[in-house]
Amino acid sequence: MLFKQQALLRQKLFLLGSLAIGSLLYLVARVGSLDRLQPICPIESRLGPPHLPEQIPLRTLQYKRGLLHEIRKGNATKEQIRMHNLVQQLPRAIIIGVRKGGTRALLEMLNLHPAVVKASQEIHFFDNEQNYARGIDWYREKMPFSFLHQITIEKSPAYFITEEVPERIFKMNSSIKLLIIVREPTTRAVSDYTQVLEGKERKNKTYHKFEKLAIDGNTCDVNTKYKAVRTSIYTKHLERWLKYFPVEHFHIVDGDRLITDPLPELQLVERFLNLPSRISRYNLYFNATRGFYCLRFNNVFNKCLAGSKGRIHPEVDPSVVAKLRKFFHPFNQKFYQITGRTFNWP
């Protein structure tokens, strides 16, 4: 009787062992097949991993900002670049406009994020025929060195209004993320005029008053041939972009709010770019002398925007302001409808 029980026990143990081995072999085969089924695509065509901290700790990227700074100044050796696996990547996001909407402020503020690397200068690759003829490798060489899982961002506001640009960017990367920062259209047009006026005055040149440029003297209608006015018709330009990119590829930033309360706008951009939230109140402090928020990277390094930002606008005839706002109103309504974002513009 005892021998029979021992034999039955051995038989059960044998069966359990066989089942365990079989299950293990099935799991190994299954995992292997799943690995083979993973999609493979070039890194340039992807926006980047949504959980960046799991690949490169953001603390590590923060510590290595100094190295990237030295590289930008030209002080790093080729050996240092190779040792840290630094590369020049095509941008995964571009601030395409709008001129005088706050593009520089947005770029500098996003650069607070340790996973973001910015191109310091406007490259004007896609809107300049001579630059575009130099090819994509020339464009890549204009980008800063970065770690593989950082996002490179550049900004050239002329991209938004230049007809050829949407197709050219689409050919480079059809899944790229596009940022558009806008302000109230009439205010933006006056700001545009003010920058040009300042440039003329520096050269001791005269310039027409804003009212004369913005209003057609013959018809008394808004002069849509004036570039500052035409640029503020946001929906006209956006419709051209939508022929190539779905609306989900765009994020609209409120340029007026970025001036008065930047953090909520930056947090929206972080989510749009699939970045972990890292920019905080600590990184932004209001400078009463300048009247703008400045940037705090750490306890040692702070940065304010150039003194040319926030120019005082000339007084504009209230009747002209009212005429412009009435003109822009239907275009603004369409812009709200397309983008899904509403602003309190008059």
pLDDT at 65: 58
Mean pLDDT by 10 residues, the chain (346 residues): 48 49 42 32 36 48 55 58 82 97 96 94 97 98 93 97 98 98 98 94 90 96 98 98 98 96 97 96 89 86 73 92 98 97 93
Q: Where are the alpha helices (DSSP H) in the chain?
A: 2-37, 58-63, 65-72, 78-83, 103-110, 129-133, 136-141, 165-172, 185-202, 210-214, 227-231, 234-241, 255-260, 262-272, 318-339
Contact 181, 255 (CB under 8 A): yes
Cα–Cα dist 260/256, whole Å: 7
Catalytic residue among 100, 155, 177, 323: 100
How many Cβ atoms sit within 10 Å of the Cβ of residue 285?
Answer: 12
Comparing CA positions, the residue from 291, 254, 300 lying closest to residue 66 is: 300
End-to-end Cα separation, the chain, in angstroms: 97
What are the distances in angstroms from CA 280 to CA 18, 95, 104, 108, 110? Answer: 57, 21, 19, 14, 11
pLDDT at 308: 55
Q: Is 155 annotated as ligand-binding?
A: no
What residue type is 293 in one-letter code?
Answer: Y
Q: Is 183 annotated as ligand-binding?
A: yes
> Strand, coil or helix: what is 273?
coil
pLDDT at 182: 98
Q: Is 48 annotated as ligand-binding?
A: no
Secondary structure of 144-182 in HEC code, one letter for each residue: CEECCCCEEEEECHHHHHCCCHHHHHHHHCCCCEEEEEE
Comparing CA positions, the residue from 115, 102, 74 lying closest to residue 265 is: 102
Q: Is 309 annotated as ligand-binding?
A: yes
Q: Is 310 annotated as ligand-binding?
A: yes
Q: Is 102 annotated as ligand-binding?
A: yes
Contact 97, 169 (CB under 8 A): no
pLDDT at 26: 41
pLDDT at 201: 87
Q: Is 281 annotated as ligand-binding?
A: no
pTM of the model: 0.79
pLDDT at 11: 54
- The two most distant CA atoms of the chain are separated, in Å, by 118
67-105 as b/e: b if 16+ CB within 10 A: bbeebeeeebeeeeeeeeebebbbbbbbbbbbbbbbbbb
The answer to whether 100 is a known catalytic residue is yes
Q: Is 293 annotated as ligand-binding?
A: yes
Domain boundaries, the chain: 83-337
- 117 backbone dihedrals φ, ψ, rounded to 5°: -125, 135
**CATH number assigned to the domain covering 83-337:** 3.40.50.300
Q: Is 313 annotated as ligand-binding?
A: yes
How much is the CA Rg of the chain, to the nearest whole Å?
A: 27
